[in-house]
Amino acid sequence: MKKRLLVFCSLLAVLVLSACGSSNDDSAEQASEDKVWEAIQDSGKITVGTSGTLYPASYYPEGSDDITGYDVEVIKEIAKRLDLEVEFKTSDFNNMLASVQNGRVDLAANDIGVTDERKGKFAYSEPYKYSYTTMIVRKDDLSGINSLEDLKGKKAGGEATTGYSEIAEELGAEVVAYGNTTNDVYLRDVDNGRTDLIINDYYLQSLALQAFSDFNITIHPDFKFDETANAAIMPKEATELKKQVDKVLSEMREDGTLTKLSEEFFGGADVSKQPDEDIPTVDEVLEQQQEEEK
């Protein structure tokens, strides 16, 4: 009887210790998940990575030291509603993501596309911009591109590691990588023949064409593909920060703030809503072209 009682007590102790261990582990995990948000609350400030060179998402108006743009103003409004100060740190895209991972910034906002690959490394806010992908080429000859297969051997301007550069590489183009460079540099290089094309967001490219109408460039009339969603990006473990940001974004969508900001920076267009038309994927465009060639 004593032996049975001893065994029972031992098992009970193991269960209690296991339960305590589980509780402690959960608490530790929760604490770890809350570190980013706790640090923000302690400092009263949120630090944001952005480029400052991507019109109209994140840029400095000529003659001004004050950063603005659609993404920038969305983040400013989020910070305001969370009663936080906001500090922007500018860098190229690659360093921006590294800064999120190493804790130099709390989140990044710079027309950042939502991709499955990044979802494995980061947390995303709810999207606040929707668009699709287009291609800038020379106006007089479309840079010799009549089908997506013609991209083989062409030079595509872009930042290394972006989804648009990956598309260009997958289609056989050589990516000419730039650092944190303003739009006019990319566009001028297509105009003068240093590069042949730029694959990027439709709305950004449309406004770029308006801003530099003297360049011999246009959006290719035959290609639109890959519907996109853009959002702020933050550390994977920043669950409370994501929760707070998403809550404010939902309020901004409902009260019309996102629409108002979008129309201000995108020439009256509401990029906070998904496109009405069906946009094919780049693979579907390729398949259709191959069928037409048979």
Q: Phi, psi at residue 200, to the nearest 5°?
A: -165, -170
Q: How confident is the model at residue 290 (pLDDT cuts 50, 70, 90)?
A: confident
Rounded Cα–Cα distance for residues 292 and 294 (Å) = 6
pTM for the complete prediction? 0.84
Task: Name the least confident of 1-5, 46-50, 216-220.
Answer: 1-5
Report the pLDDT value the prediction gives residue 160, as an integer from 0 to 100. 82
Q: What 3-state class would DSSP assign to 10?
A: helix
Residues 36, 38, 44: CA angle, nearest 5 degrees: 100
The dihedral region occupied by 86, where left means phi > 0, alpha psi between -120 and 50, and beta the remainder, is: beta
In this prediction, residues 112-131 reach a mean pLDDT of: 96
Does the domain formed by 36-128+231-265 have CATH 3.40.190.10? Answer: yes
pLDDT of residue 260 exceeding 50: yes
Spell 154-178 as b/e; 16+ CB within 10 A means b: bbbbbbeebbbbbbbeebebebbbb
- On average, the pLDDT of the chain sits at 89
Architecture of domain 130-227: 3-Layer(aba) Sandwich (3.40)
Q: Where exactly does CATH 3.40.190.10 map onto the chain?
A: 36-128+231-265, 130-227
Distance between first and last Cα of the chain: 86
pLDDT 10s digits, 22-69: 444 444 444 445 699 999 999 999 999 999 999 999 999 999 999 999
Q: Phi, psi at residue 67, to the nearest 5°?
A: -75, 145
Rounded Cα–Cα distance for residues 92 and 54 (Å) = 10
The dihedral region occupied by 111, where left means phi > 0, alpha psi between -120 and 50, and beta the remainder, is: left
Spatial neighbors of 190 by CB under 8 A, at least 6 apart, are 136, 137, 138, 143, 157, 196, 197, 198, 215, 217
